[in-house]
Amino acid sequence: MASMTAKESNSTPNLDKPMMIGHRYYIDVKKDLPVGNNLKDHLLIFMSYKLNVSWAVNQEKLNNIEEQENYILNNKGIYSGTGCDALLFAQTGKESSDRGSPDVEVHFFSSAPEEEQLRNGLDQNIKDEVLLYKLEILLDKMVADASSTGIRFLPVYLHPKSQGTIRLKSKDPFDYPALDPNYLAHQDDVDGFVRAVRVVQDIASSTAMQKIGATLIPRVYEGFCDDMEFDSDDYWRCYTKNLASSAFHYSCTCRMGSANDPTAVVDPQLR
């Protein structure tokens, strides 16, 4: 499923109800249900750390024929891992504690981002040409700061309150839908990332991490949060709003529930 460009989103009619969409495109509406409402997704941000050791994985090591042979013959070496070396779940907010479940997830990668990875992600995810131009300038600086002997933490806020929509753009089943994630529209989602950042920093400041020289690579670039005090809560709010990326976990637009639930689309038997 592909998202829209900015041009497409501006030209898409603002239709709030599925029945209105059906009538707009002359589709026979069998039952008026809230399909396409309450769109949710997980966002993540990148936090890169430099190390004073050389065991971190990088592209040069991945291209090493001996590493590839070691995995093929012995099932050992860097290829025996999944890329994501560890996961951490944490309760950081009052709602999370009251609920008894985590609201933050942190992915740990024993490798720093390579230039090719960064550029491929940019090309695939950004379609707006003006924004792409600005981010390409930013990317040049990010690549210059990246360390080939570094590690990455990817904090994720698990329970976003922001709600998006997915709507038909035509009656053609092969036409991409109009996808509006409405990311970070709720302030609690932004503040949740600030707490997630502090979880990462607590890990990085541990004795074990300091023994290998874990040092956060600052992300202070012209036009991107450079008017904020680095590492302040406002800086991380700004960072999140400008540089958060989708984890592509789109969900919640076809809710299961009872017949008395006005937000439900299917019943517990998926009918």
Kind of pairing between the strands at 43-44 and 104-109 = unpaired
The residues, ordered by sequence, that sit 6+ positions from 153 with a Cβ below 8 Å of its Cβ are 46, 47, 49, 106, 107, 108, 109, 200, 203, 204
The predicted pLDDT at position 6 comes to 32
Query: How many Cα atoms sit within 13 Å of 249 on the Cβ side?
Result: 13
Residues 12/178, Cβ–Cβ less than 8 Å: yes
pTM assigned to the model:
0.77
The predicted pLDDT at position 11 comes to 37
| Separation between Cα atoms, residue 51 and residue 223, nearest integer Å | 28
The predicted pLDDT at position 15 comes to 44
Instruction: Give the CA diameter of the chain.
Output: 66
Residues 198/23, Cβ–Cβ less than 8 Å: no
The predicted pLDDT at position 138 comes to 63
Crossing angle between the packed helical segments 187-204 and 233-243, to the nearest 10 degrees: 110
Residues 193/155, Cβ–Cβ less than 8 Å: yes
- Ordered mean pLDDT values, 10 residues apiece, the chain (271 residues): 33 46 62 87 89 75 85 88 87 88 92 58 52 62 60 92 91 88 95 97 95 84 79 93 87 89 88 84
The predicted pLDDT at position 199 comes to 97
The predicted pLDDT at position 242 comes to 83
